Amino acid sequence: MGVDFPHRHLLEIGPLSPEDLWTVLKTARNLKEVLRRPIPKVPTLRGKVVAHLFFEPSTRTRLSFERAAKVLSAEVLNFSARGSSLEKGENLLDTIKNVAAMGPDLLVIRHPASGAPHFVARKIGIPVINAGDGFHEHPTQALLDLLTVWERKGDFQGLKVAIIGDIRHSRVAHSDILAFRKLGAEVWVSGPGTMLPPEREALGARVVRRVEEAVEGADVVMALRVQKERHGRSLFPSWHEYSRFFGLNRRVLSRAAEGALLMHPGPINWGVELAPELEDFPGQVILEQVENGVAVRMALLLLLLKAAEA
């Protein structure tokens, strides 16, 4: 396979050109076929070692990266902050240096501090993938969201994407806004005033207060989880009030375009961000997002490790 991915790390969406995004999407689409084989395993990365360093909880992203590495026959080192030497006072840099001394070829890192993967990438000599850092970015989630929409809609030009909820604290929203706009989609966002970023339109999205206005005619509607653990104080009066004004239900989605997709990066607070009646909404693609997460992470492991060899 030829390598056409001129990046050493994947830390954020900003440095990626539209051509880079398409390279990841097309590679992921090709590799997705492997996942559907009777024996979903290929020797592509045999002999490579991928270290997964998760400093905060994760289900989908962590398992998705692990699955991706194993399907490509890479060895996996798994690290969790809980139960590690961090609890004995070891700092991040010492932890990273010790893991790096075990010989991994690539690090996947999730950390509650924005910029932690950038810091790690500057300190070690192997590729780093950002699996989510603080409020900053979650680039692999944006790429799997792109793949899901591309498979269903065929293109991004002219699409209206509505992102609803806790925009300010969502690294997914920040990466998605950048990624969808790079490929030609228009992005609208809506949420409580306390959950909208102070720079607002500086992100490149159109900001509206009423959810109904954001959803009107949208081809893709994405609900975000309320990031309550990142707030420090309550940013809305009650869950009931949040659900009433910013939760999605069939009435609100009736304003979207025909055939609109309903997405959520998970985990979902049913009855808050999404009404339970949406579990069988025709355009709901939440589990397709999860499946595509494995394919996108396979593509990134392959592209970055091949680029490192070049």
Q: Is 293 among the annotated ligand-binding positions?
A: no
Active site residue 44: no
Whether residue 110 contacts residue 116, with contact meaning beta carbons closer than 8 Å, is answered with no
Marked catalytic residue, from 23, 27, 44, 61: 61
Neighbours of 101 (CB within 10 A): 8
Q: Is 266 among the annotated ligand-binding positions?
A: yes
- The C-alpha atoms of residue 244 and residue 70 are separated, in whole angstroms, by 43
| Torsion sign over Cα 28, 63, 307, 140 | positive
Marked catalytic residue, from 138, 160, 169, 264: 138
Q: Is 44 among the annotated ligand-binding positions?
A: no
Alpha-carbon torsion, ordered 229, 230, 234, 237, to 10 deg: -80
Provide the 8-state DSSP code for 204: S
Q: Is 122 among the annotated ligand-binding positions?
A: no
Output the DSSP codes for 264-282: --S---BTTTB-GGGGG-T
H/E stretch holding 297 reads helix 286-309
Q: Is 244 among the annotated ligand-binding positions?
A: no
Q: Is 117 among the annotated ligand-binding positions?
A: no
Contacts for 17-20: CB closer than 8 Å, 24+ residues apart = 17/182, 18/182, 18/183
Q: Is 141 among the annotated ligand-binding positions?
A: yes
Active site residue 59: no
Active site residue 7: no
Marked catalytic residue, from 7, 26, 29, 60: 60
Tokens matching residue 118: 């950038």
- The C-alpha atoms of residue 141 and residue 147 are separated, in whole angstroms, by 10
Whether residue 8 contacts residue 127, with contact meaning beta carbons closer than 8 Å, is answered with yes
- SS3 (DSSP) at 187: strand
Q: Is 227 among the annotated ligand-binding positions?
A: no
Radius of gyration over alpha carbons of the chain, in Å? 19
Q: Is 134 among the annotated ligand-binding positions?
A: no
Active site residue 60: yes
Active site residue 122: no
In the block, tokens 């699409």 appear at 159
Q: Is 267 among the annotated ligand-binding positions?
A: yes
Marked catalytic residue, from 110, 168, 174, 264: 110
Whether residue 164 contacts residue 221, with contact meaning beta carbons closer than 8 Å, is answered with yes
Residue 215: alpha-carbon gap to chain centroid: 21
Task: Give binding residues for carbamoyl phosphate as ranges.
Answer: 60-61, 110, 138, 141, 266-267
Q: Indicate which residues carry an active-site annotation.
A: 60-61, 88, 110, 138
Task: Give binding residues as ranges.
Answer: 60-61, 88, 110, 138, 141, 171, 225, 266-267
Task: Give binding residues for L-aspartate as ranges.
Answer: 88, 171, 225
